[in-house]
């Protein structure tokens, strides 16, 4: 019997036997609100099939007020694990029994593993972004001077932690609400401290979301990463003034909905090398698969499935 595309909190909590009754049974899923747009089922189902794993990956539309009880229902419903997306990633950190060190530092969980009755939390967003940048631009994060827009958001924080743990050359945290990145800067500062490498330029700074401050930092940057939610809608204004975009920059937009984002269009027009968030989506998903099954993910199968779906 074919499983419906989307399950509700009610399905998960009140009727767990039904979820296991499909062939193959639903054992994984992405929990979000909204979740209709999610492209994760497409590539995870392709991966499950390619690996001969008798399980399906579904969408779970769960509102914030039912999130905690819904994730607690995962073991009883026979789930092996789940992904968590907007707006639940911070709540997922609070809901799991054990979170790995990287998830705790990022303040959020995007991957849950069911271990008996317990839930273990991980975050693959930062490592996924790092792999995507290596693949798209042929460089490692550790060799880059990074300007990170939206560093105070969920994805932004995970990316900032990743850049810091890779000891990138320089990290400029940018956020509309400055207090969020002032706190983050304090947390990350020890990773940039080196008695031997102290130079004339501060390696970790937090700046307001303002044109002049951004212009100054971008003149000395290798890559601009957009981790704000600006650009998810085609009607959004530009996330930064196009006049700040120059041909020497790499531009990575974590936004992937709706094809080319406005930032990518404007950065391409300025002569910059650009990539959108599909690579990050693919790699964070592949890393989740590896956590669930303790085996390499069939990356090319997943990529083909992702790219062949509009």
Active site residues: 89
Stretch that binds ligand NAP, among 114-122, 170-178, 182-190, 287-295 (CB under 6 A): 170-178
The answer to whether residue 162 forms part of the interface with ligand NAP (CB under 6 A) is no
Contact region with ligand NAP (CB under 6 A), list: 46-54, 92-100, 188-196, 274-282 = 274-282
Stretch that binds ligand NAP, among 9-17, 45-53, 210-218, 273-281 (CB under 6 A): 273-281
Check binding of 255 to ligand NAP (CB under 6 A).
yes
Q: Inter-axis angle of helices 278-293 and 40-50, to 10 degrees? A: 40
* Least distance from ligand NAP to the Cβ atom of residue 197, Å: 29
State how far the Cα of 38 lies from the Cα of 145, in Å rounded to an integer.
Answer: 31
Selected binder of ligand NAP within 44, 131, 165, 180 (CB under 6 A): 180
Q: Of 261, 209, 208, 210, which is closest to residue 236 (Cα–Cα)?
A: 261
Number of residues binding to ligand NAP, judged by CB under 6 A: 25
When asked if residue 72 is in the footprint of ligand NAP (CB under 6 A), the reply is no
* Closest by CA position to 137, among listed 244, 272, 269, 308: 272
Strands 223-226 and 250-253 turn out to be: parallel
Please choose, from the candidates 162, 166, 200, 216, the residue with its C-alpha nearest in 3D space to the C-alpha of residue 184: 162
Using CB under 6 A, pick the residue from 11, 125, 222, 266 that binds ligand NAP.
125
Strand partners, 146: 171, 223
Q: Provide, rounded to whole angstroms, the least separation between the CB of residue 228 and ligand NAP.
A: 3
258's torsion region: left (phi>0), alpha (psi -120 to 50) or beta?
left
- Asked if residue 31 binds ligand NAP (CB under 6 A), the reply is no
229 binds ligand NAP per the rule CB under 6 A: yes
Closest-by-Cβ residue to ligand NAP is 153
281 lies in the site for ligand NAP, by CB under 6 A = yes
Considering only CA atoms, give the Rg of the chain. Answer: 20
Tokens of 222: 């290798």
Residue with the two structure tokens 């990539």: 275
Instruction: Using the rule CB under 6 A, give the single segment among 98-106, 185-193, 216-224, 277-285 that binds ligand NAP.
Output: 277-285
What's the half-sphere exposure (Cβ side, CA atoms, 13 Å) at 152? 15
Find out whether 247 and 271 touch, Cβ atoms under 8 Å: yes
The single residue among 104, 134, 176, 273 that binds ligand NAP, judged by CB under 6 A, is 176
Q: Where do contacts with ligand NAP occur on this chain (CB under 6 A)?
A: 86, 125, 150, 152-156, 175-177, 180, 209, 227-230, 232, 254-256, 277, 280-281, 284
């Amino acid at each position: 019997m074919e499983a419906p595309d989307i399950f509700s909190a009610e399905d998960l909590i009140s009727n767990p036997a039904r979820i296991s009754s499909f062939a193959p049974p639903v054992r994984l899923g992405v929990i979000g609100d909204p979740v209709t747009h999610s492209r994760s089922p497409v590539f995870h189902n392709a991966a499950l099939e390619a690996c001969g794993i008798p399980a399906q990956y579904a969408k779970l539309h769960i509102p914030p007020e039912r999130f905690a009880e819904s994730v607690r229902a995962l073991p009883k419903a026979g789930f092996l694990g789940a992904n968590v997306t907007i707006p639940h990633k911070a709540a997922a950190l609070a809901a799991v029994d054990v979170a790995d060190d990287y998830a705790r530092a990022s303040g959020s969980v995007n991957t849950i593993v069911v271990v008996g009755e317990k839930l273990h939390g991980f975050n693959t967003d930062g490592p996924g972004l790092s792999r995507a940048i290596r693949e798209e631009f042929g460089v490692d994060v550790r060799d880059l001077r990074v300007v990170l827009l939206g560093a105070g958001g969920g994805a932004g924080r995970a990316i900032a932690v990743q850049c810091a743990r890779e000891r990138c050359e320089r990290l400029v945290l940018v956020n509309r609400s400055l207090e969020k990145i002032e706190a983050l800067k304090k947390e990350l500062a020890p990773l940039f401290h080196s008695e031997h490498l102290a130079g004339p330029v501060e390696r970790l700074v937090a700046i307001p979301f303002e044109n002049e401050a951004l212009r100054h930092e971008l003149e000395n940057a290798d890559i601009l990463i957009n981790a704000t939610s600006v650009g998810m809608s085609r009607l959004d204004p530009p996330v930064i003034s196009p006049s700040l975009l120059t041909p020497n920059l790499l531009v990575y937009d974590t936004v992937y909905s709706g094809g080319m984002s406005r930032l990518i269009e404007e950065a391409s027009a300025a002569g910059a090398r650009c990539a959108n968030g599909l690579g990050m989506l693919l790699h964070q998903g592949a890393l989740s698969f590896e956590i669930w099954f303790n085996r390499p993910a069939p990356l090319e199968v997943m990529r083909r499935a992702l790219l062949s779906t509009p």
